[in-house]
């Protein structure tokens, strides 16, 4: 063979090898540029606290900025739609909640995206446990006595929530179903107004985060009836659980997780899963999250997908049983 031709073939083969190696190099280098981190809530809330804590750790770990982008509104739909329509390359991730993934598909008639098809699970990050608390004037201090009172006066005991179809509302609906009682739901425009209504005595009860209630309970402005779980919580060991009172299979709270665009390369998802789990379990971030009332919970992408599927089915049953509809 002509020497020049042989050299030409050799050079061509080397170039092909170089191109073939590019995907592997790109995967190893992820992320090679800043990553957009969408939070479908306004700044300043608990979701923002979690997202910014994770973003800070990921930015340090990867050497690339994870830029938090708050896109609140329409019960998380605006921000979630941005995630669902982003490029499937791992350069847009988002913090999602139980509202986004389990509630909205059952109460919003036409979502502009499919949560299963368009969003790829990375990992759950935290669970926010709830307590049942009351204004000090109510004539009971235990869950058993509360249930007895509610059965004697059906539909008169009120509880406030941040809105219809909120996780707090679903917690109340499940409580009614399992305890065989009838409460009166009073929706407000946000968690703050609902808590203030309990403090002012305008409503009797609230089902909300333990960290939100405890400062008021310590000051004597509310009293905690029970922790909404099967067992007592290690952060609040003095609070009896609903399970102790005989209310089996009752748990009220909400969870946050991380997703990216459906179709994102698995290498990027695996990398994000590994680094996010490390951020919330092996750094000072875990202590900060625990201190404000979160339980850190993480999974593999597959386990998180399964968890969300099961949660959607549970929420669907609660919504159907309670006949919950958005106004």
Summarised one tens digit per residue, pLDDT across range 277-324 is: 999 999 999 999 998 889 999 999 999 999 999 999 999 999 999 998
* Beta strand spans in the chain (E): 35-39, 66-70, 92-97, 119-134, 158-161, 184-187, 205-209, 223-227, 253-261, 295-296
pLDDT tens digit sequence for 246-271:
898 899 999 999 999 999 999 999 99
Q: What was the pLDDT predicted at 21?
A: 40
Specify the pLDDT at position 135.
97
Q: What angle do CA 210, 293, 158 make, to 5 degrees?
A: 20
Nearest to 304 by CA among 70, 121, 92: 121
What is the 8-class DSSP label of residue 168? H
pLDDT of 4? 38
Q: Please tell me the CATH code under which domain 28-127+255-322 is placed.
A: 3.40.190.150
Q: Which CATH number fits domain 129-227: 3.40.190.10, 3.40.50.1980, 2.60.120.1600, 3.40.50.300?
A: 3.40.190.10
Share the mean pLDDT of the chain. 90
Write the pLDDT tens digit of every residue in 110-163. Answer: 999 999 999 999 999 999 999 999 999 999 999 999 999 999 999 999 999 998
Q: What is the pLDDT of residue 28?
A: 55
**Chain segment 161-173, per-residue pLDDT in tens:** 998 999 999 999 9
Sequence-ordered list of residues with C-beta below 8 angstroms from that of 102, at least 6 positions apart, any chain: 308, 311, 312, 314, 315
What's the CA gap between 169 and 301, in Å, rounded? 28
Predicted local confidence at residue 190, as pLDDT: 83
Average pLDDT over every residue of 211-236: 91
pLDDT at 18 over 80: no
Average pLDDT over residues 181-187: 96
**Percent of the chain topping pLDDT 70:** 91
Fold match between domain 28-127+255-322 and domain 129-227: yes
Task: Report pLDDT for 327.
Answer: 61
All structural domains of the chain with their residue ranges: 28-127+255-322, 129-227
The pLDDT tens digits of the residues spanning 20-53 come to 444 443 445 899 999 999 999 988 888 999 999 9
pLDDT at 1 over 50: no
């Amino acid at each position: 063979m002509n020497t020049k031709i042989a050299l030409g073939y050799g050079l061509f083969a080397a170039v092909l090898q170089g191109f073939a190696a590019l995907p592997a190099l790109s995967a190893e280098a992820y992320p090679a540029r800043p990553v957009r981190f969408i939070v479908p809530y306004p700044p300043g809330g608990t979701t923002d606290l979690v997202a910014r804590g994770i973003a800070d750790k990921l930015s340090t770990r990867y050497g690339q900025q994870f830029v938090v982008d708050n896109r609140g509104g329409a019960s998380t739909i605006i921000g979630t739609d941005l995630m669902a329509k982003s490029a499937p390359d791992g350069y847009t991730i988002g913090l999602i909640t139980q509202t986004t993934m389990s509630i909205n598909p059952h109460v919003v008639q036409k979502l502009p995206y499919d949560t299963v098809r368009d969003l790829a699970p990375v990992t759950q990050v935290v669970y926010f446990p709830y307590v049942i608390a009351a204004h000090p004037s109510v004539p009971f201090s235990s869950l058993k006595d509360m249930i007895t009172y509610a059965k004697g006066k059906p539909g008169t005991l009120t509880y406030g929530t941040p809105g219809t179809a909120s996780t707090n509302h679903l917690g109340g609906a499940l409580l009614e179903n399992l305890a065989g009682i009838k409460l009166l739901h009073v929706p407000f425009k946000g968690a703050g107004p609902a808590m203030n209504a309990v403090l002012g005595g305008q409503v009797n009860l609230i089902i909300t985060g333990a960290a939100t209630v405890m400062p008021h309970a310590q000051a004597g402005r509310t009293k905690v009836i029970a922790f909404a779980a099967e067992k007592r919580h290690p952060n609040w060991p003095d609070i009896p659980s609903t399970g102790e009172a005989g209310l089996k299979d009752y748990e009220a709270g909400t969870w946050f997780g991380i997703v990216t665009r459906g179709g994102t390369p698995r290498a990027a998802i695996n990398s994000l899963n590994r680094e996010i789990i490390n951020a919330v379990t092996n750094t000072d971030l875990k202590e900060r999250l625990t201190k404000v009332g979160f339980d850190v919970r993480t999974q593999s992408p597959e386990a998180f997908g399964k968890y969300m599927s099961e949660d959607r089915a549970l929420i669907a049953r609660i919504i159907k049983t309670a006949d919950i509809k958005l106004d």
